[in-house]
Each structure stands twice: as structure tokens, then as C-alpha cells.
Amino acid sequence: MRLSRLSGLALAAVIVPAACRESTGPSQPSPPAAISWIEWTAAVAKGQAESLRVSGGVPCSYGVVWGVTVSGSEVLVTGRVYDRNVPCLDNGTGAGSDTVFALTGLAPKPYAVAAPMLDLVSSDPIERVVGSFDVGTTPDTTPEFAGIAAVTVDSAGCWRAQPAGALPLALSSPPALTSTSGWQAWSAFLIGRLVVGSPAACGDARSVSASTLVVYVALY
């Protein structure tokens, strides 16, 4: 498989991995925690809680404490990794998570969302601003999100994005990539929002409007 990069479009939770195969050798520094998927709603009314869902993981035998802090006009997600010092079976997926935070007491203003996002080239987290939401008078429950997704195109030319464990959604603005085999898939970093009620060209009732789409790895 050839790696390529193509341009296109104060809460905490403890995540504990499953136990398995015993590790050997001297202890190593704890790996950094990287987020593979994060989502939130576009706007909430004053006094209403903003919901933030975080998914990520660390290698087996480690645990992670996800946290969220609000400083000024920025919401920052952090991950603290610790060595559980127990035997562990590494099945290649590490310790996963799907954690929801309810952010309360937010002042009426826009907030930027920043998080240590998984980088597909280095496999390390890169802290970046992935979007924003408003606190004001009119709520908007439209899901906005950022993270790693499989991007596919079929023989009919329909493009879709599929985060891990989620249903595929049509891309309202397909990337500037071509497929010569009739069906092809890539791993990509995606920032976007869900569009409901405006069927895409492929006939889907829901689609993804991507503000950022960077394709890294050709899967097929």
C-alpha cells in the first residue's frame, strides 16, 4: 500500500482497555492520546448544555482520562494517558472510547473547539481547532464533527464518508479524486456538518457538507 497525501476539500472520564497478553521488557513512556472522532451541535440557547462526544484510544495496557476545559472562548479537549501495568492482549485497536460531555454554564458567545486529533501520517495527535459553536438565543441541533473517516466512491460515481461504527453518508461536495476501478476507498481527515432534508445526487436523505477533507491513505 502506498501512502499518499492529497488535498481536497472541568469534566473527565476514565476509559479502561480489555485485559490480555502479558507484555515484556522495560516500561516505555506512555503514548499520547489521540482523538479519532469528535462531534457537537452547531448552537445552543443560553442556559442550555452543549453536548460534546469524543472517541479515541490508546494502545493496549494503557488507560486514558479524557477531559474538557473552557478557557475564554475556547473549548479544549485533553487526554491524559497512564500505564495500567497489567497484562494486555493487543488486538490492534487498543483502548477505545465513546465519551459524552455536557458543557454547562457557558456565556452567550461563540466558542472554538480544539482537540488533539489523530494524524494519519505520524499516528500522533496534533492539536488543532476543528470547529465552533454558538451560545445565544436560537439553538441549532445540526451535528458538526471532525475526525477520521473512510471515503468511498462506487461505480455510479457516488461519494460517501463513513466514520468508524457509523452509517455512510453522501458527500455533498465530492473530493477532487478519480477512481479507475469502479469502486475505491481512502482514509481521510474530515471536518464537516450533517445536512438533512436536502437529498444528495445519490438519493440519500442525509449528506455531509465538508469544509475540510484531506485524503491520506488509499485503502483499495
C-alpha cell at 193: 456538518
Q: Find the Cα–Cα–Cα–Cα dihedral 173, 176, 178, 182, rounded to 10°.
A: -10
Q: Output the pLDDT for position 38.
A: 93
Q: Output the pLDDT for position 4.
A: 32
Q: What is the pLDDT along the chain (220 residues), one digit of tens a residue?
A: 333 333 333 333 333 333 333 334 444 556 778 888 999 999 999 999 999 999 887 766 677 788 999 999 999 999 888 776 766 654 444 445 678 999 999 999 999 999 999 888 887 888 999 999 999 999 999 999 999 888 888 777 788 888 876 778 888 776 666 554 556 777 888 999 988 776 656 777 778 888 888 877 655 4
Interatomic CA distance for residues 3 and 125, integer angstroms? 18
Interatomic CA distance for residues 7 and 213, integer angstroms? 7
Interatomic CA distance for residues 168 and 23, integer angstroms? 37
| C-alpha separations of 140 from 19, 96, 107, 129, 205 in Å | 41, 29, 16, 20, 19
Domain spans of the chain, in order of start: 3-218
Block residue for cell numbers 436560537: 138
Q: Output the pLDDT for position 109.
A: 97
Residue type, 97: S
Q: Output the pLDDT for position 178.
A: 54
Reduced to 3 states, what is the DSSP secondary structure of residue 11?
strand
Residue type, 48: Q
